[in-house]
Amino acid sequence: MQATHGFAFSRSRARVIGYAIAFALALSALVLALASTARAAEPPHKSYLASGTSITFGYSQELFNENFPTENPAAFEEALPVGSGKPNGVALDYFHILQASSPAWTRMINDGCPGETSGSYIGNGTTGKTLEAVIKGTHTEAPCAYANVGGFELHHPYKGGKRFRPEVGESQLENVLETIRRENTGNNATHHPVQIMTMDLGANDLLAAVKKCEKEVAEGKWSGASGEPPITECEIVSLPAVINALATNVSSVLFAIRNGASIAFGEGGPEEHGVNYRGPLLFGGFYNPFGAVFTPGVELNPGSNFLDFVVNIVMKGTVEKFGACYANPQSSPSNIAHAFNPVIDGLPLLEPERLQKWTNMANATFAVNGNKAANGPDIHPTPEGYQILAEGYAAECH
């Protein structure tokens, strides 16, 4: 593909950007005026709350395969080879960065759920119904299938969930609201409140859209008549609606967190409501694992860097309306050394090396514990990739 700074803009792609920018402007109605408050006295201990998907959890297919079927969450915090003593996972890596900055950082709560979509993050319980009524277009799903359907354990289990009965359990958002309410009120607020929060959310929504396009291309529904490869043609046409749905759901999530005192997440009196979280909230953007993994300029999914670029533009504008900081790992604006896809920065020759080192897309190994499952290609980061994501949080948002 002929490119300036790594990619070329066709008319159809320019239209997608137009749709994306128009949608971002439309979300201005959701802007919140975050109250300016005087800095309170520093608590003796600070808590860090990590929330999101498999990225927050610290997942990789290889670790899942090697630990199957027990899947002890602690096993996902140790890098391969098992027993190396190295940490794994963006939450743990970022917690170590916080601890290096101050001894007051003594507690980490990892709420991550592998496979979480923005809809399942909200859940279809009381909070989901509330947000559907408050913010038009919010869509919900049954919460955390990893725990409630797969039966696997989380780092920080949510209340009430039972295997094959997700409807009886709370969602990750409800657990986040409950955790902030518990840690940031009463005696806890002066001793170990949540003082910073990170979130990654939306990658599984996008992956579902990619899989849908792959299915439709296989069925012959896209011919490539536009001049783009069929898969790219489908994704470009589908992108505005996918972005719209994702940005609306993320807006609902951040609205709930910033206005937790007025969002019910359970039955009962005022003690069952949250607090208005006004602390730092860092949102992890999207790297593109389907870029040029093996050959510079040859993407595994043609046009995927452009599409990821558009998603990052829109989602950055979406979260910043709620006072959140956006860490973009695709291009890593504050430090190109952390960019997973430096083709966006005009450095296409660096992309294969980084995607091979920082993701499991080139992982050709198989599990050695007897199940012989393939460990890749896997979109999830390697331990080094997780460390790079954590450093990106610090570079972009400190």
Q: What is the pLDDT of residues 210-250, one digit of tens each?
A: 999 999 999 999 999 999 999 999 999 999 999 999 999 99
Q: Is the pLDDT of residue 35 over 60?
A: no
**Tens digits of per-residue pLDDT, 349-397?**
999 999 999 999 999 999 987 678 999 999 999 999 999 999 999 999 9
In a domain, 126, yes or no: yes
Residue 31 lies in a domain: no
32 falls within a domain: no
Q: Which comes out higher in pLDDT, residue 274 or 7?
A: 274
Under a CB-based contact definition with an 8 Å cutoff, are residues 113 and 147 in contact? yes
Q: Tell me whether residue 255 is in a domain.
A: yes
Residues 349-388 as b/e (b if ≥16 CB within 10 A, e otherwise) read: ebbbebbeebbbbebeeebeeeeeeebbbbbbbbbebbbb
**Separation between Cα atoms, residue 126 and residue 129, nearest integer Å:** 5
Residue 94: CATH number of its domain: 3.40.50
Residue 88 lies in a domain: yes
Specify if 227 maps to a domain.
Answer: no
For the chain, give the mean pLDDT.
87
User: Residue 336: inside a domain, yes or no?
Assistant: yes
* pLDDT beyond 90 at 90: yes
The least confident of 33-47, 53-67, 161-175, 362-376 is 33-47
pLDDT of residue 80: 74
Residue 119 located in a structural domain: yes
CA dihedral defined by 172, 177, 180, 184, rounded to 10 degrees? -170
Residue-wise pLDDT tens digits, 186-207: 999 999 999 999 999 999 999 9
Task: Output the six-digit token pair for 144.
Answer: 């955390």
Do residues 206 and 246 make contact, with C-beta atoms less than 8 angstroms apart?
yes
Domain containing residue 282 = 46-201+248-397
Q: How confident is the model at residue 169 (pLDDT cuts 50, 70, 90)?
A: confident
The better pLDDT of the pair 80, 396 is held by 396
- Confirm if 64 and 58 have CB atoms less than 8 A apart: no
pLDDT band, very low/low/confident/very high, at 126 (cuts 50, 70, 90): confident
Q: pTM, whole model, 2 decimals?
A: 0.88
Name the pairing type of β-strands 378-381 and 359-360: antiparallel
Number of domains in the chain: 1
User: How far apart, in Å, are the Cα atoms of 66 and each of 61, 77, 80, 335, 365?
Assistant: 9, 13, 10, 34, 11
CA dist 359 and 268 (Å) reads: 45
What is the distance, to the nearest Å, from the Cα of residue 104 to the centroid of all Cα atoms in its chain? Answer: 26
Spatial distance between the Cα atoms of 68 and 300, rounded to a whole number of angstroms: 29
Sign of CA dihedral 197, 198, 202, 204: negative
